[in-house]
Amino acid sequence: MSFAPRSLFARNVLLLVALVAVSQVCALAVLLHLIQTPRIERAAATFASYIETLDTVLRDMPAGTARLDARADLPSSANTEPPRSWLRFYRTYQRDTFVESLRRHLPADMPVRWQSAETSADAQQRLWIRVHLAGEPRWIALAVPEAAHDDGLTTTLLLSLGLGALAIATAYAIQRHLNRPLADLADAARRLSAGGEPGVLPTDGPTEIAQVSAAFNRMTAALAEAEATRALMLAGISHDIRTPMTKLRLAMAMSSVPSVDASFAASAEGYLDQIDTILQQFMDYAGSGAKESPVVGDINALVANLAADFAGLGHEFALSLGDIPPFAFRPIGMMRMLMNLMQNAVLYGVVGLGVRTWMDEKTRSVCIVVEDRGKGLGTHDAESLKQPFKRGGGEGQPKGTGLGLAIVERIARLHGGTLELRPREGGGAQAQIVLPLANAVAN
């Protein structure tokens, strides 16, 4: 199991932090072992020579002539091991290095003890050394001033840590700048997959990322050209087919067929209407609607107008419209989406028709449900019904091109939303559209 972060941004920042930390540790190790340790050892050697000279002088002096605080026994507090503190790492290191070096340079009969301030009654650090006063071994204490511990290294370490933190912050800012084109590329890819216009990505970043952005721009341009070619082809086919259809309608109207065989004329008109409807559905599916600009509007008013139109054709929809604020949507695309759902409910549901809308405050989304009391989804998979050319009609059900729900889902995705098909409680089917307001306005 890997504990490394998944994102490239986090991995690069972690790598930079690790490199800065390692460089700081290496710099500290070099400073201590190649600079500070030789300095401390030289100071200890010099100090040891002074102590040996002092011992020689005191050894030859008569007893009672030297005014020194010389003791026969070492204070008990100086016999204990000095406390360790990671917060004062350098002071502990400096003290231990000095004492060990001093012991190596002094004779074996001149031991050294360190009395820390934490164990001293007067909070004074002392260095106890045994010398020979008038030939007798005595312990003398040399006070170690506080300034002797602070030679500027603590400030240097703090400055080094500050510079390391600044380096990390700078690396973080640079990495965010480098990752911004990747984030823009991901957003553009999401917009493209949702059926929107991704726009042109800038290619003025780092060479590798600029190459990816340029390739993405070429891909979107090729897709746009293919989409335009497809739409033009379908428009041409529709025009070429509708022209003879119009002529056929005119010829039938001018002929004696309607008066001679009314049923045949009505049947022929019905077939022509079906062909025209199929052509229109192909055109609707080919036109993504991405070029239509969003306009702030009232979705409830659009639903009410469509319901009134269907009521005029004899199909009553029960409306339950919630309180939804105006938001930006593509009016023609939205009308086409709702009309397809309501037409499906009329064709396959027949009864129990209804439309409900409400605002989901938790997700800031608009929900629209078109429902009926028909036979429901039956054995069909809900996801497969949204695929192009998949039809849900069973025996006795009306047939179509199978593009209605595919058109609905494409328009919903264009608005950043989703389409969900499910059985209705108590019988029938429901088609629910969820439109996040943020995505709807952004597209």
227 — phi, psi (to 5°)?
A: -65, -40
Identify the CA nearest to 195 among candidates 417, 401, 391: 417
Of the CATH numbers 1.10.10.10, 1.10.287.130, 3.40.50.2300, 3.40.630.30, which one belongs to the domain with range 194-287? 1.10.287.130
Contact 195, 443 (CB under 8 A): no
Give the residues across from 432 on adjacent strands: 369, 420
Q: Does 3.30.565.10 match the CATH number of domain 291-442?
A: yes
- Output the CA torsion sign for 58, 63, 65, 70: positive
Residue 141 CB neighbour total at 10 angstroms: 20
Residue 370 CB neighbour total at 10 angstroms: 25
Identify the CA nearest to 302 among candidates 365, 348, 364, 366: 366
DSSP class of residue 6 equals: S
Distances (CA, A) of 417 to 85, 160, 226, 371, 390: 60, 52, 25, 18, 21
Identify the CA nearest to 366 among candidates 283, 281, 438, 279: 438
Contact 428, 435 (CB under 8 A): no
The pLDDT value recorded for residue 441 is 45
Rounded to whole angstroms, the Cα distance separating 367 from 203 reads 39
341 — phi, psi (to 5°)?
A: -65, -45
Q: What is the pLDDT along the chain (443 residues), one digit of tens a residue?
A: 456 666 666 777 777 778 877 887 888 788 778 888 888 888 889 988 988 888 888 887 776 656 677 787 877 777 656 666 655 677 777 888 888 888 888 888 888 888 876 655 555 678 888 888 877 888 888 877 654 555 556 676 677 778 778 877 887 787 777 778 878 888 888 777 766 677 788 887 777 778 888 888 888 888 877 777 776 676 667 766 767 777 777 777 777 666 667 777 777 777 777 677 666 666 665 665 666 788 899 999 999 999 998 998 889 999 999 999 999 998 888 888 898 899 888 888 878 899 999 999 888 899 999 999 888 776 666 666 766 555 555 544 545 555 678 888 888 888 888 889 888 888 888 999 999 987 554 44
> Where along the chain do its domains lie?
8-154, 194-287, 291-442
Helix/strand/coil percent split, the chain, to 5: 60, 15, 30
> Chain-centre distance of CA 97, in angstroms?
50
